[in-house]
Every structure is written in C-alpha cells, then in structure tokens.
Structure 1
Amino acid sequence: MRYARLDRIRGLALVWMAIFHFCFDLSHYGLINANFYVDSFWTSQRTFILSLFLLCAGAGQAVATAQGQTWARFWKRWAQVAGCALAVTAGSMLMFPNSFIYFGVLHGMAVMLLLTRVVAHFGWLKGRWLWPVGAAAVALPTLIQHPFFDTRWTNWVGLITHKPITEDYVPLLPWIGVMLWGLAATQWVLANRPQWLVGDPGKNPEGRGMVAHLAPAALLSLLGRWSLTFYMAHQPILIGALSAWMLWQGRPLP
C-alpha cells in the first residue's frame, strides 16, 4: 500500500530540488550571478531540501517495515540507490573533475538507509528513543571534530574540521539524525494517526479524464512514486537543454 500524502511530500521535495538545480546550472553557465557555496539564501535552501528528502526516506523505512517488506526487496532498492550513486560520481567527474561528487546525497542515503533499516527491522531503538538519538547525531559534528576525518576515505563520517572540496557532500553525521526523526515520526503516525498519510493518489473518481491526472496533487504523487528516476534524469535534461540553448545563441559553454 502506498500513502499518497507521503508521495506528495516527496514529490514537492523533488520539484524544489529541480528548481534549485536549474538555478545552479544558470549560475554555472554564467547566466545569473549567484554563489551557491556561501550565500545563505542558497545554502539554507539546500539544507531544507535535503532535510525533507531524508525525513521522507526515514518515513519510507517506517512504512516498509510496518508492511513487512522483505530483505530481498530492500536489497533490490538499495542496489538501485547505490548504483545511481556510482553513476553520479562518474558523471560529476566529467563535469567537475576537480570537485567531483564522491559522497553526495545518494552515497549518504545508501549508508543511512542500511543503518535505518537495521534499526527499524530489529527494533533496537523504538518510539521516543529515536528522537534523542537523532538529536545526538545532529549535534555530534559540532561537538567533535578531528583531522583524521578530513581525508576522502574518512570524511563520509562527518566529524571533519573543514568541508571538503566537492559539489555535493552529505556525510553520515549529522544527516542520519534527520532520517531517524523521519522514522520516529512516521512510526508514531502509523500507530496513532494512520489516516494522516492516506489520501487520494490522484486518480479520477469523477470521470474528468486526463484533467484530473494533471492536477498538482496527482503530479506530485507521480513524482513521489518515481523519485529515484526523476532524480537521475532531471539534471541531464536540464543541462542538455541549457547547453543546446547556449549553442543556439552562439554562446560558449563553460
């Protein structure tokens, strides 16, 4: 069973991400003047988008374990995420050879999904205990930093003394704390208010044809169901279209 409202939240995060990435592409091509690395307007948006994604990922694990998802099915989905993470690394090496992505959002999610699945499946942390553990994970990088974690082989943990040079960096700490919060919140909702997650997935009970399927809620639900596909496809499409427009205008590519 899918929960339409959860799909819509995930879809909303995808739309926000696509807009953010399109603005980044415009900046990379010199069409707008924006600094996505230090300007708080852009860095704060990245934080909110990533937090929304990880909350949804934690929620997804709560739903999956509640519905008895097998480990075989989990591993199939996990392999898709991990494989796409490797594809992102390969693609970013071509576009950003000096700052390619080696532990971005999909790399981090692959590790966090595995840990969250273990926690959810075996019930080592239940209910209210997930909240303080998540808070500890969020706070730990501000309390502990060590040069040992500054190398490319160790900075995936997150206890760094300085941020690495890479286009996307989503370490285990603090971000697994956000995913644990998503797990905790959804476990509570499933146990106490499951109706909050139930909603019309965008079907057309009134016979209005394709119009109903093009409604915003229906489109968000659709995006939410195909989140990984959208994530992998949106940037090649945006960059390809922007590059074609630049060439048509006779402008040099960066």
Structure 2
Amino acid sequence: MSAPSFIVPAPGGRLDRIDRLRAVAMLWMTAYHLCFDLDFFGFIQADMLTDPFWTLQRTAIVSLFLFTAGVSQAIASEQGVAWPRFWRRWAQVAGAAVLVTAGSALMFPRTFIYFGVLHAMAVMLIVARLSAGWGRWLWPLGAVAIALPWLAPVAMAAWPALEFLNQPGWNALGFISRKPITEDYVPLLPWLGLMWWGVASGQWLLHRRPHWLGSPGGGGALATLGRWSLSYYLLHQPVLLGLLTAWVWLQG
C-alpha cells in the first residue's frame, strides 16, 4: 500500500500532529506548574528540585518542547520561510522571554529567571535556522551537545581557569560544574542537542514518512492549543497563581 499523498503547507501553515504534540507538552507543563504552585502555597509538600519524580518530568517536558520546536524549524525550512517572517516570530519569543524575566524578578527577586526555556529557545531558533542545511551531521552534533555537560566538572577540575563558565551570563552555555539558583534554567548545552535532533527528525520525516506529520489545519481543540502555545505559556502561570491567591484569600 502506498503512503498517503502529502503536501507541505504554504509558509506559515501548520501540521496538526505537530501542534497536538506541542499541546501535550503544554498540558503536561500546566499540571507540573500547578503542583509547583500548590507546594509554594503550602497545600502540598513536593520536593520539586531534587525528587526524581519531579525533576525527570521537567526534563521530559522541556525535551518535548524543544524537540517539537526543532521539527517545526525543519518544516519551516522545507516551506521556504523567509528571514523576515522568521524574525517576526523570533521577536515574539524574545519579547516573551523578557516578560518572563520581568515577572519572575517581581515574584522571586533573588532567584529570577534570566535564561529559561524561552531565552534558550530564542537563541536556539537562530542556531537551528542557520544549521538546518547540515543534514545528517545534526545527529552526531546533537549527541555531542547532550554529552558535553557531563564532561564539564572533569574539565573544570583539570583546568580551574574554566571556572568563569559557572558565572551568570556565561552559564547560559551550559558547560558548568554547579547549577545556578534560579526558578528556571535551560542552558544551550545539553538542550540544543534536543532541538538539533528535532530538526534532523523533521527532515527525515519530510523525506521518508511525511504523512506521519499530519495534515495542514484541523486537528481539533488540542491542535488549536498547540497553535497558541506562546500565548498559553505566558498566561497559564499568572492564571494559576491568581486563582490560588484568590482561594487563599477567600479561605482566610
């Protein structure tokens, strides 16, 4: 049986299965953040920083976000999306990252977010765009990016001059021997590796299993949520915190 026919949507068009996958990450993230907020308000006790039950979930959620972003970049490259359109979308992500920093600084002044998932994505999108033509090299490069942070403690023990990479700003690279104290930290290493693998996977699917990516438009409520992921990301925590704050106030 031959594979179903597939047409790459026009620039800016969406594929429903990618949007649905992104929406799954959004809903999972919402459940995770709700538990974080419940712990913050004292409704539950959860060790979100060290308990593997929570830390592995965070890793999986961020991985899914960045992987799908990489697949989307592969599709955008196949669509021939021009740089002006890319920069318009990029400006939205970068602007949202600034808002996250400002909001977290108000709520957590000592541990505010200075390089979280949106900051990382703003940088990685440029890297992914420039490296989309590297083809199969993206697979080993992604593996190297994922493996490098494991070597950082050994390298810094051998060459103490590298200690500066632990400082804010430099630690955005991710080649560190100690994690910073911040509410969200998504450095380029190892996470760029996940986006590179997303790009490589998207290119493989487009050339060998394009129908697996879904079809343009449609997809129901889940796909619709995936198309509004940035707005949802910015709004979900203020809404959750507002509702919990109101609940605490009413109970008082």
Asked if TM exceeds 0.5, the reply is: yes
Provide, for residues 45-98 of structure 1, a one-character-per-residue CA deviation record: whole Å limited to 9, x for no partner. 000000000000000100101001010010001011001001000000111111
The amino acid of 1:230's aligned partner reads Y
What residue is the counterpart of 1:61 in the other structure? 73
TM-score by length of 1: 0.89
Q: Secondary structure at the match of 2:172?
A: coil
1:118-162 deviation digits (Å, cap 9, x = unpaired): 111xx1x11x22111100000011113431111112100001110
Give the 5 Å matches for 1:232-247: 232-247=234-249
For residues 25 and 220 of structure 1, the distance between their equivalents in structure 2, rounded to whole angstroms, comes to: 24
RMSD in angstroms over aligned alpha carbons? 1.1
Q: Distance in 2 between matches of 1:98 and 1:36?
A: 18
Q: Say if 2:168 is the partner of 1:156.
A: no
Task: Give the equivalent residue in structure 2 for 1:116.
Answer: 128
Structure 1 Cα separation of the partners of residues 216 and 94 of structure 2: 31
Separation in 2, partners of 1:136, 1:163: 20
Superposition map of 1:184-199 within 5 A: 184-199=200-215
Q: Which amino acid is 2:80 matched to?
A: G
Aligned twin of 2:226? 224
Q: Which residues of 2 match residues 95-174 of structure 1 at below 5 A?
A: 95-120=107-132, 123=133, 125-126=134-135, 128-145=136-153, 146-174=162-190
State the distance in 2 between where 1:78 and 1:166 align. 24
Q: Is residue 48 from structure 1 mapped to residue 60 from structure 2 by the alignment? A: yes
User: Matches of residues 16-95 of structure 1 in structure 2 within 5 Å?
Assistant: 16-95=28-107
Instruction: Report SS of the residue matched to 1:49.
Output: helix
Contact in 2 for aligned 1:156/1:170 (Cα 8 Å): yes
Higher relative contact order (CA 8 A, sep 6+): 2
Give the conservation status (yes or no) of the 8 Å contact 1:104–1:168. Answer: yes
TM-score of the aligned structures, taking structure 2 as reference length:
0.90
What is the deviation of 1:197? Answer: 0.9
| SS at structure 2 position matched to 1:155 | helix
